[in-house]
Structure 1
Amino acid sequence: MSKSTQRIVQIIAVSALAFGLAACNKAADEGQTAGQKLDSAIANTEKAADNAAANASAAATNAADAAKDAAKEAGNAMVSAADSASITAAVNAGLIKDSELSAIKINVDTKDGVVTLTGEAPNQAAKDRAGDIAKAVQGVSSVANNLTVKAG
């Protein structure tokens, strides 16, 4: 249990004890001996402590669930980044195989399966081929072909 969770549990327990002692029924105390009053106060305090423990347990469970959710989201983000990197690498490898296209002059960016091509192509046919190469890579959902055709 983390220090902050322990601190919260301690605060709840102390509060429960204080409320338990304060909650002693004044009207029921009349005519009771000191021992009976003490027994009643202890019983009320035990109930309050049990409630505090249940509340602390629920809070700890909620905190653990929140931590699991955060870890899962971080894992998903890492998988997405790895997928994007592998798509980018595959597109670059395809561009290198084409004799008219320069992988050095074409920038490939990938995010969530969307590939964006920027840079220069020597002609319209090469630009179209670059888009086709990117579309053929597994995991690509769409291609933004922002290549410009080299003038003259």
Structure 2
Amino acid sequence: MSTTLHDTETSALRRDAARAEADAARARADAEAMRARRPLPRRRWPGLLAALLVGAAIGALLMSNHYDDRTLGQRLDAGLAAAGDQVRGGTAELRQDAREAARDGALATERATANAAGAVGDARITTAVKAALATDPALSALRIDVTTEAGVVRLEGPAPDAAARERATTLAAAPDGVVRVDNRLVVGGAAR
């Protein structure tokens, strides 16, 4: 009977490890999809703005023809120079917007990668703790739930005695990456 429980626990560990690997692969795919989501949309407003400015400059030039002593060529040159300055300013603003969008995308990718790495690390810790508990003769036959979140391992379930409970804490603290063990094992009783 103990061998059957041990085999069941081992197969559960393998299933948990497979799920953790699938979750990690899904997180990596999500991060990659976010990185290559879509190119920046082509914006039409800079061209429309330039056309509007050129039209306004020509209209102002024609209206001011009566009040200006410059020749038509001089006024046209001045209007085109002003429109060119405004277009260059719009282009610089567009470049700045593209830089900000790239920076925001990089930050989002970095956050997604960090979250995926944390999930993989927690799954690895959970699997290692379950394997360690399965090797202990007093703890292997018990149904001990192990969860890990941000490196904190939580143990829940029954413990046959206080010594086994403390051994469970020691085993759970052993894997790399464990920050703390929250041992909620109940001695001599059933878990909640």
C-alpha contact 1:106 1:119 (8 A) present in aligned 2: yes
CA contact (8 A) 1:87 1:110 kept: yes
Aligned to 1:131: 169
- Are residues 1:93 and 2:127 paired? no
State percent identity of aligned pairs.
34
The Cα offsets for residues 11-59 of structure 1, whole Å up to 9 and x where unpaired, read as 24433553566576969x6112333222211111111111110110011
| Aligned residues: CA RMSD | 2.4
Question: Does residue 145 in structure 1 map to residue 183 in structure 2?
Answer: yes
Alignment of 1:40 with 2:40, yes or no, is: no
Structure with higher RCO (Cα < 8 A, 6+ apart): 2
Counterpart residue number, 1:63:
101
Q: Is the alpha carbon distance of 1:47 and 1:21 closer, same or farther for their aligned partners in structure 2, counting shifts above 3 Å?
A: farther
Q: What secondary structure is seen at the aligned counterpart in 2 of 1:115? A: strand
Count of residues in Structure 1 that have an aligned counterpart in Structure 2: 147
Q: 1:103 to 1:32 in 2, by over 3 A?
A: farther
**Match for 1:18: what amino acid?**
L
TM-score (norm 1): 0.85
Contact 1:17–1:48 (CA<8 Å) still a contact in 2? no
Q: In structure 1, what is the equivalent of residue 149 of structure 2? A: 111
1:120 is aligned to 2:154:
no
Aligned with 1:15 (options 8, 28, 49): 49
1:88 and 1:111 map into 2 onto residues whose CA distance is 9
The 3-state SS of whatever aligns with 1:151 is coil
